[in-house]
Amino acid sequence: MIRSLVDSADDFLDARFRNLKRRFGWEGTPSIQPYVGYANDQFAWMHGRVLTNPPKDLPSVDDDWWDNLVNTYQRFESDEVPGVEIEIDFAGKQHRVVTDEEGYFHLETSNSPDVRGVQPWKSIAMRIINHDDVSADESLTTSSMLTPPTTARVGIISDVDDTILHTGVTGLLTVTRLTFLHNARTRKPLRGVATLYKAIQDGLVADQPQNNPVFYVSSSPWNLHDLLEDFLELNAIPKGPILLRDLGFDENKFLKEGHDHKLKKAKKVMAAYPNLPFILFGDSGQEDAVLYAAAAKSNPDQVKAIFIRDVDPDIDSHYDQNIKAPVEIAESAGVPMHLIRDSIEASEILHDMGFVSSEWLEKIADDTKRDAAT
């Protein structure tokens, strides 16, 4: 009841503010912010948002802390455009969707059986139609759709914070400083993670990569999607759908759902590719071990291993104690859960399991040590 009232008040204030901007001519031009989607032979899932203040392009090397703070504010003070009709072209078909009160649009639709092939990426075209402030041609935006190829032998589902991106979850001040005063160019990846994920993505055949898919799940809001997408690109970490959550009060949104949404999204990804085994990566600073243990219990034949990065590897802390129960749950389902110090340790285990070739081990070790020195 209270959540419903808060949600209604939130929508009411948003609508009044939009009317005020329209009245005084403060509205900007609607623009599509697309998110990377994924598909199988039966369906395609894609998602995006229409804003009048979309995030800018890649951060500049000259951006200082004030620029980063302003950009972070603008991400969360998003000017969404509800009720906009979007036409989406994919796999030779056109689909139409309408943005909701927060400016989001969603499409999950049946697909042609020839979507999957050797190449893992397909192109999508999106345009705004029937809007007074922008034409279809002016709003044309392209995005990508991940369609795991027929050569894929395993998939990765990875958390983001303190799994690939250094966040400093053990210190509130560090988290705040990194989130608000840094950008995708100045944020640091976890040591060796780019090379480790690339090794798993390529698989065991050096001259013919398997193109194994990577999916990212995070408790961060969709407002940070552009930052995370830029972070992957700038640090040569394999591209993949970044599955976040909405920042709002109503059902299935940020202030209600907690970290459980990561488990739901991981299960949905695995359900989309039932014949593909998965390796799960998380960290000990949040609830990843608990969530992944639940995934192992419900999908014991599909989850091959779970790796939990130790957020404080030099000490025995309550974070280490908290994963003991999840380890037992996962192992009771026949799925090993490893608390790892770094990418070197993970690569050695994955090599023994047959997911990383021996040719990659030295490079992963070298890059992990290089990252530690920077």
**In a shared domain, residues 201 and 323:** yes
Query: 122 and 86 in one domain?
Result: yes
- H/E segment holding residue 324: helix 324-332
| The pLDDT of residue 122 is above 80 | yes
In this prediction, residue 90 carries a pLDDT of 85
Map tokens 């912010």 to a residue. 33
Q: Give the range with max mean pLDDT: 12-16, 161-165, 203-207.
A: 161-165
Claim to verify: residue 94 and residue 222 sit in the same structural domain: no
> How large is the average pLDDT for residues 92-104?
91
Residue finishing a domain among 115, 146, 177: 146
Given this model, what pLDDT does residue 97 score? 95
Residue 205's pLDDT is: 65
Domain of 94, CATH number, reads 2.60.40.10
Helix, strand, coil percentages in the chain from 3-state DSSP, rounded to 5: 35, 25, 40
Q: Name the domain boundary from 122, 146, 170.
A: 146
Give 40 or 374, the one with higher predicted confidence. 40
Q: Are residues 174 and 302 in the same domain?
A: yes
205 and 103 belong to one structural domain: no
Residues 92 and 170 reside in one and the same domain? no
Q: What is the model's pLDDT at position 62?
A: 59
For residue range 141-151, list pLDDT tens digits in order: 999 999 999 89
Mean pLDDT score, 183-205: 82
Same domain, 361 and 257: yes
In this structure, the answer to whether residues 178 and 223 fall within a common structural domain is yes
What is the residue range of 60's domain? 2-146
Binned at pLDDT 50, 70 and 90, residue 21 comes out as very low
CB 147 within 8 A of CB 115: yes
Q: Select the more confidently predicted residue: 277 or 312.
A: 277
Question: What's residue 126's pLDDT?
Answer: 96
Supply the mean pLDDT for the chain: 81
Proportion of the chain above pLDDT 70, given as a percent: 74
142 with 166, same domain? no
Please indicate, yes or no, whether residues 206 and 87 belong to a single structural domain of this protein. no
Please tell me the least confidently modeled range out of 63-67, 98-102, 324-328, 353-357: 63-67
Q: Is the whole-model pTM more than 0.85?
A: no
Higher local confidence (pLDDT), 366 or 93? 366
CATH number of the domain residue 295 falls in? 3.40.50.1000
Number of structural domains, the chain? 2
For 241-255, what is the mean pLDDT?
A: 62
Q: Is 192 exposed, middle or buried (0-12, 13-18, 19+ CB in 10 A)?
A: buried
Of the three residues 146, 175, 209, the one that is the final residue of a domain is: 146
Please, which residues have CB within 8 angstroms of residue 328's CB and are 6 or more apart in sequence?
Answer: none
Q: Residues 130, 178: one domain?
A: no
- My answer on whether 217 and 239 are in the same domain is yes
Q: Cβ distance 130 to 22 under 8 Å?
A: no
Tokens of 172: 């509130």
Provide mean pLDDT across the span 85-91.
91
